[in-house]
Chain A
């Protein structure tokens, strides 16, 4: 049996776990192709105009899997930790996708850990029961998949980007020349599905590296530090990803070795409009260079590159002691 996993949204967090889980149960995990103009165009055609860019892209990835797989794994991810949600669009995603024509059946189990962590196992059991009747097999698959996820998270915390960490996990590391030595560190703060997708982020991370900047992201920081930084807010945020971004931003804004922060938001993203505002006010108060990039389907590559160059110039001048920055 072939299970399709769209290369979109929380793929960047959970793919190693999902892959191991399905393979342990004897299914083949198939991911959709890399994001391209064609995939995005499909998404734009089928999604309503008002949804954000990453959700439109996920429509495209789901359609890319149609005809190639027996099932599409599209869990309804309501909540992945206590008293926090992802975002309303994740709550309604399977309902929005189900309307599309010509799709294989969806595995749209509900992942809801809002009340207690153990509710996750309900979703695991439900997904597993599509493939086997053996409870033990499901339990073992779950166990191994969590181990894989932990390995992946450890690699990320070593400073690898998701694509690099996946290459390590799958023994596909290429022998590439070491990058040009970087002379400064920049933090990139944004939803994982925006900053790690090379197509919609205009290859932001690689470009920054090529311009001589080391890139840090929220995934490089252990959960504990993220949480303790985020807890400085007057009220706990109720979005998991928003809390991670706030925690990472507060952490990097205080690190003397990080010279600037790039905030990446999708156009009209609800949580970003709130967390971005808090981060920007914080950065201004601490006088740290801050760049806000808003992505949508009309974003042009040249515009992004120009802004990145200008930003890095500003960061370097500030480091050199220029007055008035």
Chain B
């Protein structure tokens, strides 16, 4: 059994670590690229959202590298993601790319449904080892997120152009290379030092921007044309409403680990505008917008794939948040036709607007 899984930003680092800890033969698909997307667009349904198309491309590329089994998460709606695995499987079958499919669904009747599937992946390993592997994976996710947050801090203030990107890739490689808990601890410290070592100009004025929206387009830089990187280079201090480890804590550990931002807080903040969950991260998007506005951010950017249903609902009510807290809001919708240059132009214009706004406000004081 050679196992593969879809990409979502840096998810491959903790997921690969967890599977390898269990002794599973893992094939990481090549990072999402134009080719991945082209494959997905060719075979996927036209109006499916972009993550499905990228998933499909990932699987096809992984199969070319010898993978024969797919691990996928499931769901119970109302967001389309819950039915991805079945659609992708039907498509792969029709184009003779058939692969084994293991879908980790939230159990419908009994927890044993899920445990059986985990056992299928883990093979002869004991449950204790499974728990250890999950713990190891989570720690890696946390370490990866720390590197990413450090990069958000460093990028707008870097003195040497490109220094942050270089440090970021070096730090990620270190964490990716760690194969035991003690090694990971060491790698994490080193990575922290590498990120701290980026020379910066602490006096440079920066704008604070909160990036909110759909989880896949937030986490996968290919799908958002490197939005956060571009923002950083334009001089914005970026924060993102969802990090990988927070998502794992919310959805897999059911909030077991304290001290992280949780989706519950975000949903509570959304109440005046959106009173019911709408699937996906729609309510979290609205809530995070409120939280960022209250925290004094200069602007908000919502990003989601074309036709994403929960985010469209959020998009419909977000103008009210913008008006109530008087915070500018930019919506970016991503699909296979999105171009990087077009997005950068819009970001530059948005940043100019925010800078002028900030200047005139400070002059009034």
Residues in chain A within 8 A of chain B (CB atoms): 47-48, 50-51, 76, 78, 83-89, 91-92, 94-96, 99, 110, 233-235, 237-239, 265, 267-274, 276-278, 281
Contact A238/B320 with A92-B278, A278-B87 known, Cβ cut-off 8 Å: no
20 contacts between A and B (CB under 8 A): A47-B316, A85-B77, A87-B78, A87-B309, A88-B309, A89-B312, A92-B278, A92-B310, A92-B314, A96-B316, A99-B316, A99-B319, A110-B276, A237-B83, A239-B77, A267-B47, A268-B306, A270-B49, A273-B80, A273-B307
Within 8 A of A (CB), among B147-181: none
Q: Assuming A234-B86, A237-B83, A273-B80, is B46 touching A89 (CB within 8 A)?
A: no
A85-B77, A95-B276, A270-B49 are known; give 11 further A-B pairs, CB within 8 A.
A50-B333, A51-B316, A76-B276, A88-B278, A92-B310, A99-B320, A235-B74, A238-B76, A265-B47, A269-B307, A278-B87
Does B94 lie at the interface of the complex (its beta carbon under 8 Å from any beta carbon of A)?
A: yes
A273-B47, A278-B87 given as contacts; is B78 within 8 A of A239 (CB)?
A: yes
Known: A47-B316, A235-B86, A268-B306. A92 touches B78 (CB 8 A): no
With contact pairs A85-B279, A239-B78, A278-B87 given, residues A95 and B317 touching in the complex (Cβ less than 8 Å): yes
Most chain B beta carbons < 10 A, residue from A85, A92, A281: A92
Cβ-based interface call for B275 (8 A)? yes
Distance in Å: Cβ of A296 to nearest Cβ of chain B: 11
Whose C-beta in chain B lies nearest to the C-beta of A234? B86
Residue B273 at the chain A interface, CB threshold 8 Å: yes
Residues B78 and A86 in contact, CB atoms below 8 Å apart:
yes
On B, residues with C-beta under 8 Å from A are: 45-49, 74, 76-80, 82-83, 85-87, 89-91, 94, 103, 105, 108, 273-280, 282, 306-310, 312-317, 319-320, 333
* Least distance between A52 CB and chain B CB atoms (Å): 8
**Considering the chains assembled together, what is the distance between the CA atoms of A234 and B105 in angstroms?**
13
Instruction: Determine the distance from Cα of A188 to Cα of B79 in the docked complex, in whole angstroms.
Output: 25
Shortest B53–chain A CB gap in Å is 11
Which residues from B are CB-within-8-Å of A51?
Answer: 312, 316
A contact residues around B319 at 8 Å (CB): 99
Contacts of B280 in A (CB 8 A): 88
